[in-house]
């Protein structure tokens, strides 16, 4: 498969996340805007009181203190939501940059999995309709691979499961597990779901992603039946220098 076609898969997946990304950005942004509007109104009121500070009686001084406390609360809201926005943008930018890289480098599979799950939260179905169980193994940092190849497999696996599930029949259960041996690092993804009437049995895009992963040194084991899908990925640990 040509590199351009493979990149198009990643771009198409990113495009499918746009509504969720907008939703996730809009929520903290609404908090920022609301707190800002309240601050603007209160600052004007406090300014009037400060002009006559020497002539304020006790009741007016207490009111000034209350307004200060309310403003401090709104500043805290602004700071919290600003940090939330920054975190979301950092995850998106980091994922795009790493996903576009075609260089085989040393990565921690635990960090990749956690980062990818945070990124996938932009998919609102994954965020709200999937019961996730994440089990991270120890000593899984010494593996060398192309980040984007693994991330794309995770993305497409999740996409296939979401498409196969009947959303009227409850939550999907997904387990994400990393393990390691003396020679290999493994990523295991397992999903239990209620299959819809038109459950897809194959995904051309997932097959392409898995083929690309195998050409870069990974072994792949798949197990699939109605309402169940398991994918086990294994890569040799990085050789010591």
User: Residue 208 has what pLDDT?
Assistant: 84
Q: Round to whole Å and give the CA distance between 194 and 66.
A: 54
Q: Mind listing the pLDDT tens digit for each residue in 165-178?
A: 988 889 999 999 99
Q: Which DSSP letter does residue 57 get?
A: -
Strand order, beta sheet including 172-180: 130-135, 172-180, 184-192, 228-236, 219-225
Torsion sign over Cα 199, 189, 108, 233 = negative
pLDDT confidence band for 43 (50 / 70 / 90): low
Selection from 232, 211, 212 nearest residue 222 by Cα: 232
What residues have CB less than 8 Å from 164, skipping those under 6 apart? 193, 195, 196, 199, 200, 229
C-alpha dihedral (226, 232, 233, 235), degrees to nearest 10: -160
Q: Mind listing the pLDDT tens digit for each residue in 201-231?
A: 457 778 888 988 898 889 999 999 989 999 9
CATH 3.30.565.10 domain range(s) in the chain: 104-236
What residues have CB less than 8 Å from 127, skipping those under 6 apart? 20, 120, 121
The whole-chain average pLDDT of the chain stands at 78
User: Residue 1 has what pLDDT?
Assistant: 45
Find the range with the poorest average confidence among 13-27, 119-133, 180-194, 204-218. 13-27
What residues have CB less than 8 Å from 180, skipping those under 6 apart? 137, 138, 139, 140, 186, 237
**3-class DSSP assignment, residue 102:** coil
User: Residue 76 has what pLDDT?
Assistant: 75
**Mean pLDDT calculated for residue range 32-56:** 66
Q: Is the pLDDT of residue 155 over 50?
A: yes
CATH 1.10.287 domain range(s) in the chain: 18-97
Instruction: Give the domain 18-97 fold.
Output: Helix Hairpins (1.10.287)
| CATH architecture of the domain with residue range 104-236 | 2-Layer Sandwich (3.30)
| Residue 92 burial (CB count, 10 A) | 18
Q: What is the pTM of this model?
A: 0.68
């Amino acid at each position: 498969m040509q590199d351009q076609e493979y990149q198009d898969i990643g771009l198409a997946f990113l495009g499918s996340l746009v509504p969720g990304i907008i939703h996730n950005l809009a929520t903290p942004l609404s908090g920022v805007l609301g707190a800002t509007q309240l601050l603007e109104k209160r600052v004007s009121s406090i300014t009037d009181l400060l002009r006559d500070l020497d002539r304020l009686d006790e009741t007016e001084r207490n009111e000034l203190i209350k307004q200060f406390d309310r403003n401090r609360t709104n500043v805290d809201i602004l700071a919290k939501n600003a940090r939330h926005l920054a975190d979301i943008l950092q995850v998106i930018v980091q994922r795009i940059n790493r996903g576009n890289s075609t260089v085989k480098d040393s990565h921690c599979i635990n960090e990749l999995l956690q980062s990818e799950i945070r990124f996938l939260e932009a998919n609102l179905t994954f965020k709200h309709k999937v019961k996730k169980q994440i089990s991270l193994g120890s000593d899984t940092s010494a593996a060398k691979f192309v980040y984007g190849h693994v991330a794309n497999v995770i993305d497409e696996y999740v996409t296939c499961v979401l498409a196969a599930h009947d959303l009227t029949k409850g939550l999907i259960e997904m387990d994400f597990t990393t393990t390691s041996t003396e020679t290999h690092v493994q990523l295991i993804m397992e999903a239990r779901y209620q299959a819809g009437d038109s459950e897809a049995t194959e995904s051309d895009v997932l097959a392409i992603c898995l083929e690309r992963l195998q050409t870069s040194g990974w072994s792949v084991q798949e197990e699939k039946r109605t309402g169940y899908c398991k994918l086990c990925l294994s890569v040799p640990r990085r050789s010591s220098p």
